[in-house]
Structure 1
């Protein structure tokens, strides 16, 4: 008499586990998205165009101080030019900021972070114009 054959039981699951299945590891979110570079590139190019205008305004803004004298001090204008210069330098430094978050995070975060240099540049121009009395 022969003994009946035992069915083989596989220890491997029939399909790979889903990333959302309980007990599984979370999906790797550090993979770069496709076309991640578009938002920071557009943001930097627009910011550079506006920064050229800001640089031109900063270069000609000392002429706003020509009428300053002991009888007519221009402290507000000097402070505005200094503040605009600081904001402009921060805008230049922030041109590199959007690249990493845009690559690793969602599209919305990439676009939002890409607006940082533009916002700092516009703040620089606004501070300068208000300080010299144009606005």
Structure 2
């Protein structure tokens, strides 16, 4: 049996996937009305942060009864922790705007609750430290 002596072409195992199956490699478009969740989060968190700042400014009066004989270590630590949490809450006001633009609605709402949660943690830490201190 004689076989033709031409070049042999290997058979393709499977065709390549269509180009429409993969999204373009460019930047993703922002969602419509992505700004509603961050705006609502900021509008709720800012008044609560003002209350937390007022409580934090008034909290040194809780240390008036402290002396060398009866130190108020827990209250001082709670005031310091509350200050750190409040500063983190103020700094985190920008996080929802950056994160919610490209993610889903649930991620936008969840991330928008971060400043409010940090602010409430600041108030709770301050109040617990004063009561237990």
Runs of 4+ with deviation above 6 angstroms: none
**How do 1:62-77 and structure 2 match up within 5 A?**
62-77=60-75
Identify, as 1 or 2, the structure richer in helix: 2
The separation in 2 between residues aligned to 1:56 and 1:22, in whole angstroms, is 61
The separation in 2 between residues aligned to 1:30 and 1:81, in whole angstroms, is 43
- Structure 1 equivalent of residue 90 of structure 2: 92
The separation in 2 between residues aligned to 1:30 and 1:63, in whole angstroms, is 52
Shift of 1:29: 7.1
Count, aligned residues: 114
TM-score (normalised: structure 2): 0.81
- Structure 1 equivalent of residue 120 of structure 2: 122
Compute the RMSD of aligned alpha carbons.
1.6
TM-score (normalised: structure 1): 0.80
The separation in 2 between residues aligned to 1:100 and 1:30, in whole angstroms, is 14
Unaligned runs of 5+ in 2: 1-16
Unaligned runs of 5+ in 1: 1-20
- Structure 2 equivalent of residue 59 of structure 1: 57
Equivalent of 2:23, from 21, 26, 30?
26
